[in-house]
Amino acid sequence: MVLLWIRRDLRCFDNPALMDAVANGCRYALFISTPQQWDLHHEAPIKLDFIRRHLLQLEQQLFELGVKLVHLTSTDFSAQSELLIRFCREHHIHRVLANSEPEFNEQQRDRSLLSSGLDIEFYDCDVIAPRGRVLNQSGEMFKVFTPFKKAWLKHVREFGVECIGRPQGLSKPLSPPARDLIGELNSSSSLINSSSLSTSWPLADEVMEKVIPHFFSAKVCDYKERRDFPAIKGTSGLSPYLAIGALSPRTLYQQLLARYPQLIEDDNHPAFCWLNELIWRDFYKHLLFHYPRLSKQTSFLEKYAKTQWPGTQAEFDAWSKGETGYPLVDAAMRQLVRTGWMHNRLRMVVASFLTKHLLVDWRQGEQFFMSHLIDGDHSANNGGWQWAASTGCDAQPYFRVFNPILQSQKFDPNGDFIRKYLPELNDIPTKYIHFPHDYMAKHGVSDTYWPPVVEHKAARLRAIAFYKG
């Protein structure tokens, strides 16, 4: 008997492990919750709730394929492995099929299972270009994005992108799925609570049917011009679905190319900017594959490995609470804490502020993001934070320090986003909304908003001196 092990692949479309499992007469799929491991990895409650909702959707979809989804609970990966082996023994399962997970702890778990004698096969389905196939002339992983992108494009032109469909169901139907899966998932995941529900995000099936076609037809060609403005919906909003495997990046690539076939040859095409984001995602996934130490909170650039960051806990607390005195930074942090998501431009701004203005260790920011983001993905989160902190692969130069006031003026010119998350500034004229302290001092208002934790010019000079170190 064959068992399908569901992990970070909560979909039926373009799921190679599922396709082979169904083809081999699989009747059971297994999902094993690991609350203790989730806690160690700082998984956000809203993301876990998003997983729960997609598991319930997947349960119904698997039932229609003749596969029963079983949910079990362990603590960490070690206990998860033991539970999987015991389940296989008790149910006379001779082979397990699963999609790969590239992170360090996950890879250790899977290698341990292979060495245990369990007949288990892993598939690659969370990248567009297969890991280990986009290399420089020395046969090594690229350390700069642009040449990686060129090699990536060459690879997909030459070999194409394999994307499988949805498997056909078995001839003998099952009984309707038992609804106790809902209770099991709710009771087993202590990290999920009513304050972190993800219901404002539709399920992936609705996204595939409505959101993606609309984005590709009406928005993707304007993505480059609109993506940096947080007050408007100019991004795709697909990152949470990619993070849990509810959507396939290969499917997105093929659907985009089906609409704009010239895209793969023309990087000046208006829609290429969005494709470039998928390539960046692959870049960080490939980096993690080639440099597993990135999963262990180490700087990619070894010269920063032992850096002692002088930022204080009080400064980190001000940043995390949205109390820095810089409106765009504070509004962005409140968006994150309130909604579980943050606009990508703002992720760069707040990360630069924490690491350059406050000189707080980037790892603290990385962990805070993971503990709040619905789209928390280790490779992208680690890559983004190390990019901002100038410690990573192809990171921004250490002397580049985002000016949060200029960023605010450029990307939220009327203060619409700021006012949404900082209602205490509603009465501040637009001319002063980006840094209201002069206006407040002029009118004798001192308790409306937080004073700035640092002065920008002084903080910039201090950051440059620190990095030169």
277 labelled ligand-binding: yes
| 366/360 Cα distance (integer angstroms) | 11
Query: Of 5, 38, 309, 387, which is the active-site residue?
Result: 309
Q: Is 241 annotated as a binding residue?
A: no
Residue 450 annotated among the catalytic residues of the structure:
no
Catalytic residue check, 344: yes
Query: Position 273: which residue type?
Result: C
Tell me the one-letter amino acid at 275: L
Of 20, 43, 2, 17, nearest to 377 by C-alpha is 43
Annotated binding residue at 201? no
Q: How many CB atoms lie within 10 A of CB 307?
A: 17
Say if residue 278 carries a ligand binding annotation.
yes
Sole residue written with tokens 């015991």: 86
CA 275, CA 164: separation in Å to the nearest integer? 20
Is 237 one of the annotated binding-site residues?
yes
CA distance 408 to 402: 10
Residue 322 is assigned to a ligand binding site: no
Ramachandran angles phi, psi of 30, nearest 5°: -125, 130
375 is in an annotated binding site: yes
Residue 245 backbone class (left: φ over 0; alpha: ψ -120 to 50; beta: rest): left
Determine whether 280 is an active site residue: yes
Q: What does the DSSP 8-state code read for residue 80?
A: H
Q: Is residue 24 flagged as an active site residue?
A: no
Is 385 noted as a catalytic residue in this protein? yes
Question: Which of the following is catalytic: 152, 201, 280, 387?
Answer: 280
283 is in an annotated binding site: yes
119 belongs to an annotated ligand binding site: no
The reply to whether 317 sits in an annotated binding site is: no
Do the annotations mark residue 200 as ligand-binding?
no
Question: Given 201, 362, 387, 450, which residue is catalytic?
Answer: 362
Among residues 277, 323, 403, 424, which one is catalytic? 277
From the candidates 5, 385, 387, 450, which is the catalytic residue? 385
Q: Is 146 annotated as a binding residue?
A: no
The answer to whether the annotation marks 281 as part of a ligand binding site is yes
Q: Which of 101, 344, 403, 424 is catalytic?
A: 344
**CB of 415 within 8 A of CB of 430?**
yes
- 309 is a catalytic site residue: yes
Measure CA 127 to chain center: 13
Is 222 annotated to bind a ligand? Reply is no
Contacts of 377 (CB under 8 A, 6+ apart): 239, 242, 243
| Residue-wise DSSP of 305-351 | TT------HHHHHHHHHT-SS-HHHHHHHHHHHHHS---HHHHHHHH
Q: What is the DSSP string of 174-235?
A: PPPPPTHHHHHHHHH-TT--GGG--TTSPPHHHIIIIIHHHIIIIIGGGHHHHTT-TTS--S
Binding-site sequence positions for FAD: 223, 235-239, 274, 277-284, 375-377
Q: Catalytic amino acids?
A: 277, 280, 309, 344, 362, 385
